[in-house]
């Protein structure tokens, strides 16, 4: 798998397809493979004539995994995404982010709007602004010696997921300390690119999509039917809404 350097860290990425670029930024405790390849998003994008670019965020997948929480602020992780576009010689791309990846993508659209054609925020609604209330419980779950006695449902869910993906739990605990920093409401209002906010109907972690879309200059909301936070990622309705949004704002046939 190819790698690049960003902020002194060696990070993993993969490109598939040859169309206009869509940079896919995965969620917490996941990876480019788990979040985008395994659930069919990469195939969906490539079949629609886009180039899918997946990144393993710092602390995740095959990328380097520092244990210092100061290495995981959203602005730093956003810098990795920009550095990957620089590495690939891409001036402007559509960005698809899920959960933590959506938070990173939102900071990117705010700080570097000239690099972002449009933005799909999956699994993140008003908690982009309000923050993640379960963060400390998730940290405790990641640091616990085992699942025994771990009763908090969200903490247990993420611990099981981290164990399933064979993640570095110390790196993940460091990551969630700082990567969950909220975005200021006034900054959200200044995001100028088109944004689709897509959240599962049963998602209790993301916050509602409609109020966030209303704050955005060019925001629109989509509810992913009957899906919670973990099961919405590869949902067919989410993919269809995402492709329709891309077709309106970053159409593949205009770039072929």
Determine the angle formed by the axes of helices 169-179 and 135-143, rounding to 10 degrees.
170
Taking the complete model, does pTM exceed 0.75, yes or no? yes
Give residues with Cβ within 8 angstroms of 132, minimum separation 6: 138, 176, 180, 205
3-state secondary structure of 100: helix
Q: What is the distance between the alpha carbons of residues 80 and 91, in angstroms, rounded to a whole number? A: 15
Are 135 and 125 in contact, with CB atoms under 8 Å apart?
A: no
Residue (of 189, 226, 222) closest to 208 by Cα position: 222
Are 94 and 120 in contact, with CB atoms under 8 Å apart?
A: yes
Angle at 61 (CA atoms; ends 110, 16), nearest 5 degrees: 70
Across the chain, which distance is largest between two alpha carbons, in Å?
A: 55
Are 159 and 230 in contact, with CB atoms under 8 Å apart?
A: no
DSSP 20: S
Residue (of 57, 60, 52) closest to 83 by Cα position: 57
Supply φ then ψ for residue 63, to 5 degrees.
Answer: -80, 165
Write out the two tokens for 64: 């380097």
- DSSP sequence for 177-230: HHHTPPPPHHHHHT--S-EEEEEETT-SSS--HHHHHHHSTTEEEEEETT--TT
- CA distances 245 to 151, 156, 167, 220, 240, Å, are 39, 34, 33, 10, 9
- Looking at residue 254, what is its pLDDT? 61
Residue (of 163, 240, 147) closest to 198 by Cα position: 240
Q: What is the CATH number of domain 3-131+180-254?
A: 3.40.50.1820
Task: Kindly state the helix (H) or strand (E) to which residue 16 belongs, with its residue range.
Answer: strand 9-16
pLDDT tens track of the chain, all 256 residues? 899 999 999 999 999 999 999 999 999 999 999 999 999 999 999 999 999 999 999 999 999 999 999 999 999 999 999 999 999 999 999 999 999 999 999 999 999 999 999 999 999 999 999 987 777 888 889 998 888 888 888 888 889 988 888 899 999 999 999 999 999 999 999 999 999 999 999 999 999 999 999 999 999 999 999 999 999 999 999 999 999 999 999 999 765 4
- CA distances 218 to 92, 138, 211, Å, are 18, 33, 13
Annotated domain spans of the chain: 3-131+180-254
- Looking at residue 256, what is its pLDDT? 43
């Amino acid at each position: 798998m190819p790698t690049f350097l960003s902020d002194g860290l060696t990070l993993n990425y993969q490109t598939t397809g040859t169309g206009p670029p869509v940079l896919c930024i995965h969620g917490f405790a996941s990876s480019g493979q788990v979040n985008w390849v395994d659930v069919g998003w990469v195939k969906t994008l490539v079949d629609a004539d886009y180039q899918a670019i997946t990144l393993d965020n710092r602390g995740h997948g095959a990328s380097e995994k520092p244990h210092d929480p100061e290495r995981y602020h959203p602005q730093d992780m956003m810098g990795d995404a920009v550095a990957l576009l620089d590495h690939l010689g891409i001036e402007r791309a559509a960005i698809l982010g899920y959960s933590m990846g959506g938070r990173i993508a939102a900071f990117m659209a705010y700080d570097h709007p000239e690099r972002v054609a449009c933005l799909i925020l999956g699994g993140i609604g008003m908690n982009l602004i309000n923050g993640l209330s379960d963060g400390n419980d998730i940290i405790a779950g990641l640091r616990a010696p085992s699942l025994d006695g771990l009763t908090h449902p969200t903490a247990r869910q993420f611990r099981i997921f981290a164990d399933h993906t064979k993640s570095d739990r110390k790196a993940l605990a460091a990551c969630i300390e700082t990567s969950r920093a909220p975005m200021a409401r006034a900054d959200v209002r200044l995001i100028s690119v088109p944004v689709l906010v897509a959240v599962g109907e049963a998602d209790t972690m993301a916050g509602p999509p409609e109020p966030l879309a209303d704050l955005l200059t060019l925001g629109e909301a989509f509810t992913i039917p009957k899906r919670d936070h973990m099961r919405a990622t590869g949902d067919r309705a989410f993919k269809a809404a995402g492709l329709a949004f891309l077709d309106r704002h970053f159409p593949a046939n205009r770039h072929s």
